[in-house]
Amino acid sequence: MSTEENIIKPSIPYTNPQDALFSGERWENLGSSAGGHTITGNRLLSDKNSSPWVLLLGGVHGNETEGVRFMEEFTREFVLEKETSPFPFNLYTLPLLNPDGFLSFERQNANSVDLNRNMSTKDWNADYTEERYRPGSKAQSEPETVILINLLNEIKPDYIISFHSWKPMINTNGPSQKFASLMTEKMDMIIADDIGYPTPGSLGTYAGLERQIPTITLEFERGIELDTVYPFARDAVLNSFNAL
């Protein structure tokens, strides 16, 4: 284990992980994870025609419960029981891309692949320095990655936020600076266009750098009380929508 990893606290697991699994009416079945769990998403169309699309994504890393908690509470406030988007844009919510890892409280999916190293980017490669960064046998080898890429191709989002936890930062990829700046009006967090180590095969590279979609990887402080996550970041996320 690296020195850096030692100073990062582990996340607090959910006492009831089922809370974060949304299904039922208006939830789309996007397919199954490597471990056979259903991955669901929710689309809420705006009343306006030809509105932008926003994609909010949680649980790419199953043990980063802070990000899943944000998505869970956002979903409860703005998605459940809604017929149309409460915002002036179309909203796609995917609270938990990696149910395998979430239910087992591990970073990777059931194939032990890091889903944020498995996207079909130009810099994807099969090498890895640590087990937790295993990128898969080839780019897009994992069903979760295929689900996410299919979704990106379909809705063509104009803004993406993916919720993670590590050292707290707003990690920007693509033309996302103004979105990040608006976040910092409501939340004390640094903006960084470089997370500090290489992330080949990541969503930030795939969507942000290579397709110029404003993409923010919001890293909550790992190990903070889960009850504090949503109040901390809610207004910042809402404020960032004003950049659309």
The answer to whether 142 and 99 have CB atoms below 8 angstroms apart is: no
User: At how many degrees (to 10) do helices 65-78 and 226-240 cross?
Assistant: 60
Our CB check for Zn ion shows the closer of 61 and 69 to be 61
Please report the beta strands in 129-168, taking only residues with DSSP state E, as ranges in sequence order.
159-166
Chain centroid offset of residue 144 CA: 12
Site for Zn ion in 158-217 (CB under 5 A): 164
Q: State in angstroms the smallest separation of the CB of 114 from Zn ion.
A: 9
The answer to whether 174 and 212 have CB atoms below 8 angstroms apart is: yes
Our CB check for Zn ion shows the closer of 134 and 164 to be 164
Q: Is residue 134 close enough to count as binding Zn ion by CB under 5 A?
A: no
Site for Zn ion in 39-78 (CB under 5 A): 61, 64
Our CB check for Zn ion shows the closer of 117 and 164 to be 164
Our CB check for Zn ion shows the closer of 61 and 117 to be 61
In whole angstroms, how far apart are CA 1 and each of 8, 194, 229?
A: 11, 22, 27
Our CB check for Zn ion shows the closer of 44 and 195 to be 195
Q: State in angstroms the smallest separation of the CB of 26 from Zn ion.
A: 27
Q: Say how far apart CA 55 and CA 91 lie, in whole Å.
A: 6
User: Any idea what the Cα angle at residue 63 is, between residues 87 and 189, rounded to 5°?
Assistant: 55
Q: State in angstroms the smallest separation of the CB of 199 from Zn ion.
A: 10
The answer to whether 140 and 118 have CB atoms below 8 angstroms apart is: yes
Our CB check for Zn ion shows the closer of 6 and 49 to be 6
Size of the site for Zn ion (CB under 5 A): 3
Q: State in angstroms the smallest separation of the CB of 60 from Zn ion.
A: 6
* Helix, strand or coil, per DSSP, at residue 194: coil
Q: State in angstroms the smallest separation of the CB of 44 from Zn ion.
A: 26
Tell me, residue by residue from 146 to 165, as one string, x for binding to Zn ion by CB under 5 A and - for no binding. ------------------x-
Q: State in angstroms the smallest separation of the CB of 91 from Zn ion.
A: 22
User: At how many degrees (to 10) do helices 177-184 and 226-240 cross?
Assistant: 130
* Binding site residues, Zn ion, CB under 5 A: 61, 64, 164
